[in-house]
Chains A and B, each alone.
Chain A
Amino acid sequence: MGGPGTPRREVVTGAPRTARPAPGPVPPARTRPQDAALLRDLMRRQLRLGVSAFGMLVAVIGPLPLVFAALPDPAVRPGGALLVWAVLGVGAYPVLVVIGRWYVVRAERAERDAVERDEGARR
């Protein structure tokens, strides 16, 4: 690919960077004190959700190496490898998706609540 038009696109890569005022664009007029409170509440709620999801991940996956290390020697009792395979090779992925889904539903709900509160206050 790379037709004659592409170099132009590359030039754009850095051009706005020098022109942009640091430290980033000024947000829309959000000066009312209740806006700061709204942001603070939303952030706290989202952070709690994120930490909960991460905590679930750590609680489910974190102890597994210790559990596997405690499995009996395969020479004595075979089947350990099959168990590890079932847990790590297959079972772990649905758990990840379920935790992810759990988080997304709640994070979106938190945002909806914040927007509704904001619009209620503006009315």
Chain B
Amino acid sequence: MNQAYGIVAVSAAVLATLVIGSVGLRVSRTTSDFYVASRTVPPYLNAMAVSGEYLSAASFLGIAGLVAAEGVQMLWFPVGYAAGYLVLLAFVAAPLRRSGAYTLPDFADSRLGSPAARRVAGVLVVGVGWLYLLPQLQGAGLTLGLVTGAPHWLGGVLVAVVVTLAVAAGGMRGITFVQAFQYCLKLTALLVPAVFLLLAWHGDPRPAGALEEPPAFRRHTQVTVDSTVRLRIEAPLRAVASGAVDGRAYDGAPLALDPGVHEIRAGTTLRFPPGTPVPERAPGDGRPGTAAGWAAPLSGGEEEHPLYATYGLICATFLGTMGLPHVLVRFYTNPDGRAARRTTVIVLALVGGFYLLPPLYGLLGRLYAPDLLLTGNTDAAVLVLPERLLGGTAGDLLGALIAAGACAAFLSTASGLTLSVAGVLSQDVLPSLGVRRFRLATLPAVAVPGTVSVAAGQLPVAGAVGLAFAVAASAFCPLLVLGIWWRGLTPPGAIAGLLAGGGGALTAVTLTIAGPPAGGWARSLLAWPAVWSVPLGFLTMILVSLATRDRVPPGTEAAMARLHLPERPAGRDQPSTRRGVTTP
């Protein structure tokens, strides 16, 4: 990748964000109340803003990487990311907007009148936010590493610092125009190169069979392995090696490997002749690898129980979207509940349209950047494709455009998340800090996931986001759905449900990141907790609420009226739907 172009593109993306942001800020200052101004925001603009904040590094880089590495069953990720908005629409969108809640703890407090429930929800929001920030910072490290040649951890740290400063200074915030612009930038950054890439693919002498063939190196390819990998080889393989393979040192000597599992030491460089099938990475415990079953739906990839894993993913993403802290905040800029619904439908269309593109990159990445399968760095597929397939200035320019889009992806989501987490940290989790210490709270909000992302090394970006969805689904889907539709919810019930569902999922996810059990059902259950933790959350919340029936909050009927009755047109005797809740 041409570094000069890349650096210019990334800087331009950041600069455009800042310029549009400062213009929006000035506009909003001319009005007496920011949210009065926001009431005039039409649904399509609001929907672009929601989509702009939602499409993160996981969508932009991660989906293509997973599709390249593990195959078509990974298309469940984008479907789930989009379908979550339909569930949110059906159960939550309009009442949530009418509740006037600005954060999930706000909702718990205003619906239940319980500071304890507020506190528990706050802790879980921080957990979800941190989990979601982790892959954003990794995606940032990956992108900036490719663009500037910096080591991965440095890119992540750099973005963490930029986001902290921007959020602490009050920037990047709730400005609809910035987020709407980010959506356009991300869509353009994938759409325009995709057109050229597809043309180039079409013009390729042998483009057919892309879905079925095991991938092979199309030309002489040199691969340097960053960390020690174990490769599974099906047919005898010839290459030229410099480094250490199976404990033997090579110095530019020919290498012949028999079928089986072989270990390539870190730093080894391998040169493959054209037509060599790409060796696949073997999982640590020597189970069958991923590449052979790429075209087979549910062939499983790393999973031992692929059907269970697929349903776990569906549960987490369908039900988790409504519990993501940065999604909720954006719904607040809708003028009323009706607009919130219309916005959500447009979001469905915008997000769905975007998700047509990343899988194409995954497919092309498998064909034209197969060395990534060997190094395991498949999240880079989107970024390297223009250079590989087009080359020359056109490749450099399109690569720079993609880098700018990736930059927009992790900046918008990371700043939205950081702001939500910092707000909850300063208000609900560490109230002793005082509200004025909001800026202080941005520090742990980013520092914790930043440290973990450096320490944890390479998690697949889209997979780590799946974990965040699982916790959000287990904790907040029961709270929101029961809180909105069931009069019988009590504060003890809500707290117990949050702890059982959200706490259970959070524990499972932490164990998975820290080092999962070697295999079997224990591993699958921990890696995909939503299938059991969401019902657990619902059940606990309902049963404990029934057991504490005398603790139903006295304001329940009033709260229900506020959530469900449509707003009066302006000028009636009704007070505004926006009640004294937080403003940014």
Which residues of A line the B interface, CB within 8 A?
1-3, 5-7, 9-17, 19-20, 22-28, 30, 35-36, 39, 42-43, 46-47, 49-51, 53-54, 57, 61-62, 65-66, 68-69, 71, 73-74, 78, 80-82, 84-85, 88-90, 92-94, 96-97, 99-101, 103-104, 107-108, 111, 114-115
Contacts and interface: CB of A to CB of B under 8 A. Distances in A.
A10 B438 contact: yes
B79 A92 contact: yes
Contacts of A47: 485
Interface stretch (B106-114, B225-233, B240-248): B106-114
Given A7-B170, A85-B72, A1 B297 contact: no
A79 to B, nearest CB: 8
B564 A96 contact: no
Interface string B368-398: 0000000000000000000000000000000
B166 interface: yes
B91 A54 contact: yes
Given A24-B562, A104-B89, A88 B341 contact: no
B342 interface: yes
Interface in B140-182: 166, 168-172
Interface in B397-449: 423, 426-427, 435-436, 438-439
Contact of A2 (B171, B353, B436, B582): B171
Most B CB within 10 A of own CB, among A12, A42, A50, A51:
A50
Given A1-B169, A65-B307, A99-B86, 15 more contacts: A1-B166, A6-B171, A13-B583, A14-B427, A17-B582, A23-B553, A39-B557, A39-B565, A66-B307, A69-B307, A74-B296, A80-B297, A81-B296, A88-B72, A108-B338
A50 B29 contact: no
B75 interface: yes
A84 B72 contact: yes
A84 B297 contact: yes
A74 to B, nearest CB: 5
Given A14-B427, A22-B109, A114-B566, A78 B212 contact: yes
19 contacts: A14-B426, A14-B582, A19-B580, A28-B575, A36-B557, A43-B485, A65-B298, A66-B307, A68-B73, A78-B211, A80-B296, A81-B72, A84-B297, A85-B211, A85-B359, A88-B72, A89-B78, A96-B86, A114-B565
Nearest to A99: B86
A28 B574 contact: yes
B579 A24 contact: yes
Chain A residues touching B, majority SS:
helix
Contacts of A84: 72-73, 75, 297
Most B CB within 10 A of own CB, among A23, A46, A62, A108:
A23
A5 B29 contact: yes
B113 A23 contact: yes
B435 to A, nearest CB: 4
B59 interface: no
Interface of B: 18, 21-22, 25, 29, 34, 71-73, 75-76, 78-79, 82-83, 85-87, 89-91, 94, 109-115, 166, 168-172, 211-212, 294-298, 306-307, 310-311, 314, 318, 338, 341-342, 344-345, 348-349, 352-353, 355-356, 359, 423, 426-427, 435-436, 438-439, 485, 553-555, 557-562, 564-566, 573-575, 579-584
Given A22-B113, A23-B111, A39-B561, A81 B438 contact: no
B561 A1 contact: no
Nearest to A2: B169
B485 A53 contact: no
B167 to A, nearest CB: 9
Given A1-B170, A2-B166, A94-B352, A27 B558 contact: yes
A11 B575 CA distance: 25
B558 A103 contact: no
A25 B297 contact: no
A111 B338 contact: yes
Given A42-B565, A69-B307, A80-B296, A100 B356 contact: no
A43 B94 CA distance: 12
Nearest to A85: B72
Contacts of B113: 22-24
Nearest to B556: A23
Contacts of B115: 22
B86 A100 contact: yes
Contacts of B211: 78, 81-82, 85
A37 to B, nearest CB: 12
Nearest to A12: B583
Contacts of A9: 34, 170, 583-584
A101 B343 CA distance: 11
Contacts of A15: 435
A1 B25 contact: yes
Contacts of A20: 579-581
B554 A23 contact: yes
A82 B85 CA distance: 26
Given A11-B435, A12-B582, A89-B75, A1 B18 contact: yes
A50 B114 CA distance: 28
Nearest to A108: B338
Contacts of A114: 565-566
Given A23-B559, A47-B485, A97 B348 contact: yes
A71 B169 CA distance: 54
